[in-house]
A and B are shown apart, each in its own frame.
Chain A
């Protein structure tokens, strides 16, 4: 049966659990009927950008199948050091 909607709360839980995200911070918004935004976690520090995207989308597709892209838009994935830029 088709899933009708993915909520931000559900998305956070799914990604935190499936990727075992360390202390994640979610900065999500709803745009054009999709959830998009930035996710910050130390877990991403060891992965390059392609791996980050693949890991997240693999997790979403395992949970929601092909419908993931209907409800989730662009997710950008940062380590805390990338998110909290320090120029000192």
Chain B
């Protein structure tokens, strides 16, 4: 199967929607995983669109440090956006695809994002993660639309 920029974007959009639905159904480890995967897909789409050399594989962190190079950082430092990217990559790793809720919760406790064994707090972390993923994804989408629209003279 051949993947291109459009495939990555469509996949990312589907993963983000799935993450939302799973969050609503309190299937939290899957929601967290798919949210980050959606961001990875969209960064991959933008990278492919620009025909850049791409060797980051599934390393979202290596992709994420290129947000400025991709044109996603709007202002001088664009603090809110970079913090959203930072938050997504703190919580997410590709290895989460192997993890169930217990393992994800343990990792979240290890990094200090979750400080008690509470389902309510876990849900709140998952919800915040989804919001961060959506914020990054939507910024990517704006750039995507701008780059795909016919050039104006």
Cβ of A69: which chain B residues have Cβ within 8 Å of it? 76-77
Cβ of B68: which chain A residues have Cβ within 8 Å of it? 32, 34, 36, 73-74
Within 8 Å by CB of B95, from A31, A73, A87, lies A87
Q: How far is the CA of A34 from the CA of B95 in the complex (A)?
A: 30
Interface of A is mostly: mixed
B71 to chain A, nearest CB (A): 10
Cβ of B93: which chain A residues have Cβ within 8 Å of it? 85
Q: How far is the CA of A17 from the CA of B110 in the complex (A)?
A: 27
Known: A87-B95, A87-B107. A76 touches B85 (CB 8 A): yes
B24 CB-CB contact with A under 8 Å: no
Residues of chain A at the chain B interface (Cβ within 8 Å): 27, 29, 31-32, 34, 36-38, 45, 49-50, 52-54, 57, 69, 73-79, 81-82, 85-88
